Chain A
Amino acid sequence: MKLSETNKAWILLTPALLFLSLPAYGLFSAIWTSLHENGSFTTKHYRTLFQQETFWESIGYSVRITLLSTVLSLVLGLLITRAFSPFIQSTKGKLSIWLPMLFPHFVWGYIVLLLFEQSGLISHLLVEMGLISSTSSFPIITNDQNGIGIILTYVGKETPFVVLMLLPIYAKQQDGYKDLVQTLGGGKWAAFKDAEWPWVSPVLLEAGIILFAFILSAYEVPFLLGATFPEMISVLTYDWFYSGDWNERPLAFAAMIITSVLIGIMSFIAFSAMNRKRMLLTKGQG
């Protein structure tokens, strides 16, 4: 029996769809739970959630840390790729970029803790060198209210990811466009703006969305390196979910749904801004 193209596509997509059904089920069950009480529909949990100051504090704090970590990782990743592109494309270079990718986030967070906590390695080293009088003079940058430890961990862990995302773009970058800009009268800035950025920006944006979604909702790093207050939304949700009070469980679901909606909105805006440009770039190459 000969399969039509459409049927063939569906058969090929089946494993992916089956796999996606798991998180989809989780998401729908969370939406269902957050919108029901005692078997009947209600928006009560959302209303309660929106009245909680802790929730708003947590969302604001999470978005701030997420945006900072994301932007810093993107900028650092771009700078490193531009500066060391030929080296990174060699086996040694690729290995040095891959290495941090192999550590779990929790391990990376633990390294940051060991290095940067007030009684950590760096603080001891500075005392030994006589640069500070005691470890208590070392600034608090882990488990701190500004989330510096969290940001340090994410930047350290995600920058290599950004480099790996950008590498193929720089590997196949045509020097021709830069030469062209120069022969038409443009300087270095114009060469970057018109002969490099249009190809780099869609990838940066894509990497940015992945990082934003991941950092905003990931749990282990803020749990390890965060302060007691304010907490990142994932930690707050976890607390609500496992707290003794069963009434808080729907709140946890509602908070996670809000997080998902936030990620959804960000992705939608970013993709709609980039899709046409991306289409033009892939179609008009050459």
Chain B
Amino acid sequence: MTPSFITVEHTSKSFNKEAIFSNLSFTLNKGDILSIVGPSGSGKTTLLRCLAGLESFSTGKFLINGKNVTALEANKRPVSLVFQHPLLFPHMTIQENVAYGLAFQRRKKKERLRHAQELINQVGLTGYEKSFPYELSGGQQQRVSLARSLAISPNLLLLDEPFSSLDVRLRNEMRTWVRQLLKDQEITAIFVTHDKEEAMQMGDYVGVFENGQFQQIGEPEHVYHSPANAFVADFFGDHLLVDQETFIPVQSLFLSRSKPKQVGSVWEGIMKNKLHVHGHSLYQVFIEDLNQHVTVSSSINLTIDEPIYVSAHPDSVQTFTNQQQRNG
């Protein structure tokens, strides 16, 4: 078995005895992209800062390509970080911004500028070399920021919610585009977000993070369809949580005005909201017995606050996998 390119072993971090995360372990192969998704305050940004070397791990080991980098300072680690905001130096041109990190690698100026130009071309900003950051749009600025982080040829690229300051349309474009770029260049990356769609779109694997723990790591489709526990089902999937052990995938639910017979599970609900996505009518229904909102597709024409039955066939009730971590 070939050793993993990135190995994080039993790491933990605490501030003033308060644990931010503990006993975290995962591995990545070269070129893998891992999306870490979780609610705000779950500790995912701290994990990223520890990986970047901006904070130190309280315990554990971090290896890149077999080399232990746990004790290395941020500026000595082969890791670079793309921040939430582009943080371009406003007084430098785009080319100077992209070439910035190369100066610390003692490369000659001519070579630095040539390499920066290559990256500017790769991120589709040819012609903007001599422009200043304020002349670029938010999306373009974030692309420059990405180019700058890629310029130093890091072994691991960390991205901390880099699209959160962009508008929805631009965000969607950037996701597809950045993923393609990372894949084309075989860059190993960890992408942090609080948006589950973004996590699914960006990662080869997703890690659902809460309470300083990975609740589940796996391929997006697997985590979506087979959540390990109630938190993952609620946060990452579209499921109706029946109890702490079982759930029903939302596509197995149907709505009816009269109470259906010969069906295992039936709940009374109230229609709260209606939306239209990809040609389907979706209804947001509140089920008082379960104290949950669930969004179900239906062809019935419902009005707001109308009572409705939500039902599912007994076969569709599933049990959480409780699978904790991805191996290899």
- Residues of A bordering B, CB below 8 Å: 174, 176-177, 179-187, 190, 194, 198, 277, 280-281, 283-286
* 30 pairs from A and B in contact (CB 8 Å cutoff): A176-B83, A177-B89, A179-B49, A179-B74, A179-B81, A180-B81, A180-B87, A182-B74, A182-B75, A183-B54, A183-B74, A183-B81, A183-B149, A184-B75, A184-B80, A184-B148, A184-B149, A184-B152, A185-B75, A185-B105, A185-B152, A186-B101, A186-B104, A187-B75, A194-B89, A198-B91, A280-B134, A283-B132, A286-B86, A286-B87
- How far does the alpha carbon of A185 sit from the alpha carbon of B76 in the complex, in Å? 6
Main secondary structure on A side of the interface with B: helix
Task: Using CB atoms, name the residue of chain B closest to A286.
Answer: B85
B100 contacts the other chain (Cβ, under 8 Å)? yes
Contact A281 B83 (CB under 8 A): no
Contact B87 A184 (CB under 8 A): no
Contact A198 B54 (CB under 8 A): no
Choice from B54, B80, B90, B105 contacting A283 with Cβ under 8 Å: B90
- How far does the alpha carbon of A277 sit from the alpha carbon of B92 in the complex, in Å? 9
User: What 0/1 pattern do residues 149 to 188 of B give for CB contact below 8 A with A?
Assistant: 1001000000000000000000000000000000000000
Cβ contacts under 8 Å, A176 to chain B: 83, 85, 87
Task: Using CB atoms, name the residue of chain B closest to A175.
Answer: B54
Contact A281 B90 (CB under 8 A): yes
Choice from B52, B76, B104 contacting A190 with Cβ under 8 Å: B104
Scoring B79, B90, B105 by chain A CB atoms within 10 A of each residue's CB, the highest score goes to B90
Choice from B73, B90, B100, B149 contacting A284 with Cβ under 8 Å: B90
Please give the distance in Å from B180's CB to the nearest CB on chain A: 24
Task: Using CB atoms, name the residue of chain B closest to A182.
Answer: B74
Contact B89 A183 (CB under 8 A): no
- How far does the alpha carbon of A284 sit from the alpha carbon of B91 in the complex, in Å? 8
**Size bracket of the B interface:** 20 to 34
Contact B91 A180 (CB under 8 A): no
- How far does the alpha carbon of A176 sit from the alpha carbon of B79 in the complex, in Å? 16
Please give the distance in Å from A98's CB to the nearest CB on chain B: 31
Contact B90 A285 (CB under 8 A): yes
B53 contacts the other chain (Cβ, under 8 Å)? yes
B88 contacts the other chain (Cβ, under 8 Å)? yes
Choice from B83, B86, B91 contacting A280 with Cβ under 8 Å: B91
B203 contacts the other chain (Cβ, under 8 Å)? no
B133 contacts the other chain (Cβ, under 8 Å)? yes
Choice from A183, A186, A284 contacting B88 with Cβ under 8 Å: A284
Task: Using CB atoms, name the residue of chain B closest to A188.
Answer: B75
Cβ contacts under 8 Å, A190 to chain B: 104
Scoring B83, B88, B91 by chain A CB atoms within 10 A of each residue's CB, the highest score goes to B91
- How far does the alpha carbon of A185 sit from the alpha carbon of B81 in the complex, in Å? 11
- How far does the alpha carbon of A177 sit from the alpha carbon of B79 in the complex, in Å? 16
Please give the distance in Å from A199's CB to the nearest CB on chain B: 9
Given the interface pairs A183-B54, A190-B104, A277-B91, the reply to whether A284 lies near B74 with Cβ below 8 Å is no
Other contacts beyond A179-B74, A182-B74, A277-B91: 7, CB < 8 A: A183-B74, A185-B101, A194-B100, A284-B90, A284-B133, A284-B134, A286-B86
- How far does the alpha carbon of A285 sit from the alpha carbon of B90 in the complex, in Å? 6
- How far does the alpha carbon of A182 sit from the alpha carbon of B152 in the complex, in Å? 12
Cβ contacts under 8 Å, B149 to chain A: 183-184
Contact B89 A283 (CB under 8 A): no
- How far does the alpha carbon of A174 sit from the alpha carbon of B91 in the complex, in Å? 16
Scoring A182, A184, A280, A284 by chain B CB atoms within 10 A of each residue's CB, the highest score goes to A184
Contact B83 A182 (CB under 8 A): no
Task: Using CB atoms, name the residue of chain A closest to B105.
Answer: A185
- How far does the alpha carbon of A286 sit from the alpha carbon of B52 in the complex, in Å? 21
- How far does the alpha carbon of A270 sit from the alpha carbon of B68 in the complex, in Å? 50
Cβ contacts under 8 Å, A281 to chain B: 90-91
- How far does the alpha carbon of A39 sit from the alpha carbon of B7 in the complex, in Å? 90
Cβ contacts under 8 Å, B54 to chain A: 179, 182-183
Task: Using CB atoms, name the residue of chain B closest to A184.
Answer: B101
- How far does the alpha carbon of A183 sit from the alpha carbon of B82 in the complex, in Å? 9
- How far does the alpha carbon of A198 sit from the alpha carbon of B89 in the complex, in Å? 9
Given the interface pairs A183-B80, A198-B91, the reply to whether A280 lies near B132 with Cβ below 8 Å is yes
Cβ contacts under 8 Å, A183 to chain B: 52-54, 74-75, 79-81, 149
Cβ contacts under 8 Å, A194 to chain B: 89, 100
Scoring A185, A277, A283 by chain B CB atoms within 10 A of each residue's CB, the highest score goes to A185
- How far does the alpha carbon of A174 sit from the alpha carbon of B134 in the complex, in Å? 18
Contact B132 A180 (CB under 8 A): no
Cβ contacts under 8 Å, B74 to chain A: 179, 182-183
Choice from A174, A181, A284 contacting B132 with Cβ under 8 Å: A284
Choice from B52, B80, B87, B101 contacting A177 with Cβ under 8 Å: B87
